[in-house]
Amino acid sequence: MRFADQLSLLVPQDTPHRETLIAHAATHLDLIVEANQHMNLTRIIDPREAVIKHILDSIIPWRLFTGVNHVLDAGTGPGFPGLPLALILPETRFTLTESTQKKARFVESVIDALELSNVEVLPDRAEDILRSRRADVITARALAPLNRALGFMGPALKAGSRALLYKGPDVAKEITEAGAEARKYHLQLKVVMRYDLPDALGSRTIVQAG
């Protein structure tokens, strides 16, 4: 079954710009499969698993991003969660950072193929970009433990940004271990959402820092 068929089955009916997401996310996943032949973007290429773990996982918390002007996706890899979120939130500007040059070039090619006007990718580390750019929300999926993430996001968060970080189900220990960094920048950490992926493919926790 093709990516588009799985997207039609799995994407919730109340998702904004649902048809656009289905068409464009299918193209994005097709491009990943094609690029995967000569570079390691992801090990997940089964259509249903890819839709669940890449697209669905990215968009389920979309309501947390509504009304935000500028989102920075730190370490976007092949474009997650930034690109799927950008497809359903066209009024929000997304900056995707990816320090691996080949991956950044791939994401740039996807942005061009999908003709997305609200997304840019920068081939640099998020911590370097955040020194000169302000984002309303900084997000990241499978990036680093909270204490390390706060280490480089802390100055931006102290200056008024907010972080929404995709984490696994057992985040309590990470929150405890990040306590010193949080206090250093006068930040509060709290779980703002939990959800389970279909087919028992994992549980997620969204942690807010700010």
Strand partners, 167: 205
Q: State the pTM of this model.
A: 0.95
CATH number for domain 61-209, candidates 3.90.1150.10, 3.40.50.880, 3.30.200.20, 3.40.50.150: 3.40.50.150
pLDDT, one tens digit per residue, over 96-132 is 999 999 999 999 999 999 999 999 999 999 999 999 9
Provide the pLDDT confidence category of residue 1 given band limits of 50, 70 and 90. low
Annotated domain spans of the chain: 61-209
- At a CB cut-off of 8 Å and minimum separation 6, what does 169 contact? 194, 202, 203, 204, 205
Does residue 85 surpass a pLDDT of 90? yes
**What is the sign, positive or negative, of the torsion defined by CA atoms of 105, 109, 110, 111?**
positive
**CA–CA separation, 206 and 142 (whole Å):** 11
pLDDT, one tens digit per residue, over 28-78 is 999 999 998 888 887 777 899 999 999 999 999 999 999 999 999 999 999
Strand partners, 165: 140, 207
**CA–CA separation, 204 and 36 (whole Å):** 26
Question: Percentage of the chain with pLDDT > 70?
Answer: 100
Which secondary-structure segment (H or E) carries 122? strand 119-122
